Structures are given as structure tokens and as C-alpha cells.
Chain A
Amino acid sequence: NAGVTQTPKFRVLKTGQSMTLLCAQDMNHEYMYWYRQDPGMGLRLIHYSVGEGTTAKGEVPDGYNVSRLKKQNFLLGLESAAPSQTSVYFCASSSGTGRTDTQYFGPGTRLTVL
């Protein structure tokens, strides 16, 4: 039982390049989330999904797109990377059984945009 895994762990991009971050969970969770963590800003929600085929915008969605084609995977895409997107990205999942369910987090992806 691997929990929540993220690929890749590190990445360096040049401004304007694109990339996709992959999140996978093996807990059959309905809800999945993408966050970014920046110093002094805490965790900010980018996008989330409440089930396969659904996505919704979070607090800071601009410059990002997501897809949830399979229940176990949640992809975060950067179409044209900018230095402001330098951050640590965390994926999380939760069962979706209600407001009491806890989130399980992946180990993070450290992205640097030059």
C-alpha cells in the first residue's frame, strides 16, 4: 500500500516550457487535491476533484490545468511555466465520505522555473 505517490520528485524548467505532474493513490479515494506550498504562504489549493472525470478550481488556479481520467490518478499541467510557479507541489487525497475525512498527502514535487 503505497498511499499517495508523486512523479517526479524534482524538476527544473525554463520559462515557457510545459510539464505534467502525476499524482497516484491506491486507497480508492474519491477526492483528490493539488496544493502549492511557498514560504510564509502555507498551503494554497490549486485545483481539486471530487470524483473521476470531475475537476474544480481552488484558490490559485491560474496557469494550471488538471485532469482526472482515472479515479486513482490526478494530473497537474503547466502549459507555459513562469518563474512565479517555482514552488513545492503537494497532492492529497481523501475518502470523500464527509467533512470528517482526513487528507493523505504525497511527498511533494519541487519545481524550479528559471
Chain B
Amino acid sequence: AQSVAQPEDQVNVAEGNPLTVKCTYSVSGNPYLFWYVQYPNRGLQFLLKYITGDNLVKGSYGFEAEFNKSQTSFHLKKPSALVSDSALYFCAVRDYASGGSYIPTFGRGTSLIVHP
């Protein structure tokens, strides 16, 4: 079985400060990991994904995420937050293992609020 947890319902950060949105996962094999962003009254948009290789993945809008296998985490980061980054962020996982589901499992989402 695969699962993903986003331990924070909301993250508050001041504009210009670094931000981190946390995600941990559980799979039986190796994971494929994704981050999506949802702006108000919009559908989800793909940000970045980890498949294999370099543990630091760079994505859209200056976001990056760090894969840590020992901690089973895939935290989303940005060095300097913008007010326009305020949105709902979703982490998702697929299990690489044979017999694992190709249907991704999503976390409950984390609301990021960037204060001016």
C-alpha cells in the first residue's frame, strides 16, 4: 500500500523568507513523488517530480524539493517566498514496485500563506 502525509495544514511565512512545505511517504518499493499547486478557484498544476537520480529536484516558479530516502520525505522548498506563492500545495506518490498502483495517492494538502 502507498500513502502520503502532509503534517501541516497551514504554513505561514513572510515574503522574502525561505519556505518549506513538508511531505512524508510510505511505499513498499521505491517511490515516484510529485508536487502540485492549486491557486484559488483553479485546478491543480504540476510543479515537479522525483523519479530517480539527483535527490534535489528543481521545478516551476523557483520551487525545488529534496528527496530523502532514509527519512522517507520529499519536502518542497523555495529560497525566497513571494506573496503570489500563497496557494494550496499537494504532495502525491506512486509506488515503483511491481504490482504497485499506477494511481497516485495524494496528501490532504498544505495551505501556504505568504505575508507581505
**A and B interact physically:** yes
* A interface residues (Cβ-Cβ under 8 A, vs B): 4, 31, 33, 40-43, 45, 48, 58, 90, 92, 98-100, 102-108
CB distance from B116 to the nearest CB of A (A): 26
Is there contact, CB below 8 Å, between A40 and B108?
yes
**Is B22 located at the chain interface by the 8 A CB criterion?**
no
Task: Give 18 A-B contacts (CB < 8 Å), ordered by A residue.
Answer: A4-B43, A42-B107, A43-B44, A43-B106, A58-B103, A90-B44, A92-B43, A99-B94, A99-B95, A99-B96, A99-B102, A100-B32, A100-B51, A102-B34, A102-B49, A105-B36, A105-B44, A108-B42
* Chain A proximity mask over B64-108: 1 for CB below 8 Å, otherwise 0: 000000000000000000000000001000111000101110111
B109/A107 in contact, CB under 8 A: no
Q: Which residues of A contact B108 (CB under 8 A)?
A: 40-42
Asked if B103 contacts A42 (CB within 8 A), the reply is no
Q: Which residue of B lies closest to A98 (CB)?
A: B102
A42: which of B34, B42, B109 is its contact (CB, 8 Å)? B109
**A40 and B88 alpha carbons, distance in the complex (Å):** 11
Question: At the interface, is chain B mostly helix, strand, loop or mixed?
Answer: loop
With most chain B CB atoms within 10 A of its CB, the pick from A33, A58, A92, A100 is A100
Please give the distance in Å from B5's CB to the nearest CB on chain A. Answer: 11
Per the CB 8 Å criterion, the residue count for chain B at the interface is: 24
Please pick, from A45, A58, A104, the residue contacting B46 in the complex, using a CB distance under 8 A: A104
**B90 near A42 (CB under 8 angstroms)?**
yes
A103 touches B44 (CB 8 A): yes
- Would you call B43 and A102 a contact (CB within 8 A)? no
Complexed CA–CA distance, A101 and B104 (Å)? 10
- Residue B45 at the A interface, CB < 8 A? yes
Which chain B residue has the least Cβ–Cβ distance from A35?
A: B106
Please measure, in the bound complex, the distance between the C-alpha atom of A45 and the C-alpha atom of B2, giving whole angstroms. 14
Q: A100-B51, A105-B44, A108-B43 are known contacts. Are A42 and B96 too (CB-CB below 8 A)? A: no
